[in-house]
Amino acid sequence: MEEIEINLKSLLFYVLNHWISIAAAMIICGVLAGGYSYYNADKAARQQQAAAENVAKETKEDKEVELETLKEKLSDSEIAMADSIFEYEKEYAEYVIRMEKSALLSLDPYEVSTTDISFFIKAENIDDAKNIKAVYKNLIGGTELRKYISDAGGIAADEAGELVSLKNSSSGGETDEGDSVLEILIYAGSEEQGKKLSTAVKDFLRAKEKELQDKAGVHELILTSEAMTTGYSAAVANSINSARGTMISLANTVTSYKKSYFTDDIKAYYDKRLAMESGAVEAGEEKTEAAGTTETAAVKASVSPKYILIGIVAGAFLMACLWAFIYIVSNKLDEDDDLGYLYKIPDLGHIPAGTGRGLLFKLRNIGKRRFETDEAIRLAAVGVKMAAKRAGADSIVLIGCNLKNGTLELAEKIKEEASGEGLNIEIIDNILYDAENLEKIYDKKGAVILEKAQSTLRMEIFKELDILNRQEIKVLGGIVQE
């Protein structure tokens, strides 16, 4: 038997024929790789979270120890003085925050939309009107109006409380109302916002008018005037200037005290406490974000598409390598093996397995002329008869390894087609492993090897040929069934 060369095309299609197992390996390895990526990400997130918590805990403890050390260097009066200044600075910081969040103080005093609304309260007498007016004044400054305006106008309740006020309040003005007149001022950054606030206030008062008939007394709320102007507002400007003055006063107080009373030790204690307090405030403001660390970690602990892709590719590669290894070491007869080259015997035919074998079968046989199974059997039978006549053999055998594994029926058809005209054909199976069958070939003049691809081993064919040669039985050729 000649040295066998691996046919890469045969190897490729042998591997591809096992695509189901390759696809299964791709799915399994992809799932395993995805699970491994999730495990690693979750582990890293937990370690990061634990490290952050430990650092925060250690940092807080270290700061508290350091603060106590600095505090021990001061007298009680120095500590009291530092704490007092600290409260001033804390008040200043809070005041700055309130100014930044204030809707009224954020207005441009030169571009304020001011709406002046007046209602006349019609009641049975002046005393009743005065009492009913007091009820409405409480409503104007209450949380119920703020919430109503917030829902209707789309602004925060705190902003609504600042932008809507009574005209005789500190932000409102200079006039002295009659006991039956309710005057309201509305400040806004634009005419559109002013109209929304004005409509919301009027709707609220109309709704309350119906509710208060029994509680406050029978009355009628009559809108007497409504005017909107846009431009400079002295009231808004005064509020802004007053707030800035308070802020500057607090800042100057803190600065003055620090210059007058701070020594190096007091300053070190004060700065440390201020830093700790600022850190605590920031931690409190960012509590939601800090509490969301676990959620963030959970988001990070997700399945990595990269790992899944690597797992899929690795699964396909490993399974393909496995089938390639099996193909190489199995040493089974292949559909494309040339019997004439391997065993120096005539190749009498290849019998196809039939049609309908799918895309891989069609791809493998591109460029080849294919016969139908029955046509290939007739051609092989003719080849057997011609070889027998040429050898002068009138009694031949069809032999093979394990013909019962799908090849016996083919052997019967070849026998049927080739028998006659003085040619006697006998089918004998497994002469390598069955002594009784081996004995049957003793008186035969010729033999034809009939084997099934991917079933019979190449070495088994070599041994069959060796037995035939030793018995001086002429080998007429070989037939391969795909």
For the segment 115-151, what is each residue's pLDDT rounded down to a tens digit?
999 999 888 888 888 888 888 888 887 888 888 887 7
* Higher local confidence (pLDDT), 414 or 155: 414
What's the pLDDT at 285?
45
Whether 256 and 276 share a structural domain: yes
Residue 378 lies in a domain: yes
Q: What is the mean pLDDT of residues 233-247?
A: 87
Confidence of residue 355 (pLDDT cuts 50, 70, 90): low
Whether 123 and 73 share a structural domain: no
Whether 196 and 282 share a structural domain: no
Structural domain containing residue 414: 339-481
**How far apart are the C-alpha atoms of 348 and 339, rounded to whole Å?**
9
Where helices occur in 117-226 by DSSP H, the ranges are 126-140, 143-153, 157-163, 191-215
Residue 291 lies in a domain: yes
Whether 450 and 352 share a structural domain: yes
Confidence of residue 321 (pLDDT cuts 50, 70, 90): very high
- Integer angstrom CA distances of residue 282 from 262, 267, 271: 26, 22, 16
Other C-beta atoms lying within 10 Å of the C-beta of residue 41: 19
- Integer angstrom CA distances of residue 294 from 51, 166, 301: 13, 49, 10
* Higher local confidence (pLDDT), 224 or 253: 224
**How far apart are the C-alpha atoms of 441 and 426, rounded to whole Å?**
9
- Integer angstrom CA distances of residue 394 from 408, 441, 444, 474: 22, 14, 9, 12
**How far apart are the C-alpha atoms of 343 and 276, rounded to whole Å?**
92
Model confidence pLDDT, tens digit, residues 424-445:
889 998 888 888 888 888 888 8
Which stretch of 161-165, 192-196, 294-298 has the lowest confidence by average pLDDT? 294-298
Whether 36 and 83 share a structural domain: yes
Give the residue from 451, 399, 391, 401 showing the smallest Cα distance to 423. Answer: 391
Whether 374 and 291 share a structural domain: no
Q: What is the CATH number of the domain that holds 156?
A: 3.30.70.100
Residue 171 lies in a domain: yes
> Which amino acid is residue 64, in one-letter code?
E
User: For the chain, what is the domain count?
Assistant: 3
Model confidence pLDDT, tens digit, residues 445-480:
899 999 888 888 888 888 989 998 988 889 999 998
Q: What is the CATH number of the domain that holds 415?
A: 3.40.50
Residue 106 lies in a domain: no
pLDDT over 60 (residue 175): no
Whether 355 and 454 share a structural domain: yes
pLDDT over 70 (residue 154): no
Whether 253 and 344 share a structural domain: no
| pTM assigned to the model | 0.44
The residues with which 480 forms a beta bridge, in sequence order, are 350, 451
What's the pLDDT at 286?
46
What's the pLDDT at 287?
45
Residue ending a domain, choose from 231, 251, 280: 231
Q: Which of the residue ranges 23-32, 37-46, 197-206, 380-389 has the most confident prediction, judged by mean pLDDT? A: 23-32
Whether 227 and 241 share a structural domain: no
pLDDT over 60 (residue 290): no
Model confidence pLDDT, tens digit, residues 205-228:
888 888 888 888 888 889 999 899
Whether 211 and 244 share a structural domain: no
Average pLDDT of the chain, as a whole number: 81
Confidence of residue 170 (pLDDT cuts 50, 70, 90): very low
What's the pLDDT at 295?
44
What's the pLDDT at 296?
46
Q: Which of the residue ranges 73-87, 344-358, 447-461 has the most confident prediction, judged by mean pLDDT? A: 447-461
Residue 352 lies in a domain: yes
Residue 31 lies in a domain: yes
Whether 323 and 343 share a structural domain: no
**How far apart are the C-alpha atoms of 160 and 145, rounded to whole Å?**
8
Residue ending a domain, choose from 177, 206, 231: 231
What's the pLDDT at 15?
87
Whether 346 and 473 share a structural domain: yes
Residue ending a domain, choose from 274, 296, 330: 330
Confidence of residue 288 (pLDDT cuts 50, 70, 90): very low
Model confidence pLDDT, tens digit, residues 187-210:
888 888 888 888 888 888 888 888
pLDDT over 60 (residue 171): no
